[in-house]
Amino acid sequence: MSEKSRGVLIFATNTSDVDYVKIAETNAELVKQYMGLPTTIVQGTQGQNKRLVSGAVTEWHNGGRCNAYELSPYDETLVLDGDYLVFDDNLLKVLDTVEDYAIPHKHIYINEQANDTMGTYAVGPMLWATVIAFKRTNKARMLFEVASMIQNNYAYYRALYKLQSSIFRNDATFTIADRIVNGYSENMSCRVPWPIMTISGEIDRMVVDKQRIIVYKKERAYVLPRANLHLHDKRYLQNGFEYA
């Protein structure tokens, strides 16, 4: 039997003000350095979304993740946001242990208090589609098929669950899909067992050394252990970060 292939899939679609492909390429270099895996970058399909960030309107394209099962050339896949920067090899452990798929169910905002919930009729804790690990099984295929159905009928599901956000969100889509696939029960075998760490808003500088990450925001610095980090400031990421 031939060895199963492993790799990372990142969706990236450039906008008028952000080079998402460049960000994804930078992360692909980190993936190779810390996990030794190849990365495939594909373009999303969703129409344009807009939101206000630090007083400025920004746009992004976040659809198409439901097609990851079909688009991935690998037997075992990690779907990552381009701005979820890889600084360790812990996600390899997820691929080693997951049976079908795994999605994080915990989220920590390093620099602010945030209470992200799905909506009035939540079906359980919000999942975070920032990271999705999956293998080519029937259950994983079903997850993405249901997610595609939800994306194609998002207005209906937004009304059904009274989702808080007015824009399309992969997090809500895969949360609902996961509950449907698991018969509306919490299946911890489909979870990444540690939280997503996020720095939100604009940053001034980020420095990475062998043991830690330092993120500078205005007059404050956040010192973190060197671990995977979700960084919202796309404009900063276009220009890379510093190694000490």
Q: How far apart are CA 4 and CA 57, in angstroms?
A: 43
214 part of a folded domain: no
Cβ(137)–Cβ(100) below 8 Å: yes
CA atoms within 13 A on the CB side of 52: 1
Taking only the tens place, the pLDDT of each residue in 143-199 is 999 999 999 999 999 999 888 777 899 999 999 999 999 998 999 999 999 999 999
DSSP 8-state code for residue 27: H
Q: How far apart are CA 140 and CA 51, in angstroms?
A: 31
70 part of a folded domain: yes
203 part of a folded domain: no
Percent of the chain with pLDDT strictly greater than 90: 72
Confidence at residue 52, expressed as pLDDT on a 0 to 100 scale: 39
74 part of a folded domain: yes
Q: Give the domain CATH number at 184.
A: 3.90.550
The total of structural domains in the chain comes to 1
Main-chain phi, psi angles of 159, to 5 degrees: -70, -40
238 part of a folded domain: no
Taking only the tens place, the pLDDT of each residue in 155-171 is 999 999 888 777 899 99
Tell me the pTM. 0.91
Q: How far apart are CA 66 and CA 129, in angstroms?
A: 10
Confidence at residue 117, expressed as pLDDT on a 0 to 100 scale: 67
88 part of a folded domain: yes
137 part of a folded domain: yes
Q: Is the pLDDT of residue 56 over 50?
A: no
Q: Is the pLDDT of residue 47 over 60?
A: no
169 part of a folded domain: yes
CA atoms within 13 A on the CB side of 130: 24
Question: What residues make up the domain containing 38?
Answer: 6-196
Q: Is the pLDDT of residue 113 over 60?
A: yes
Mean pLDDT of 13-19: 89
CA distances from 43 to 14, 48, 60 (A): 9, 13, 12
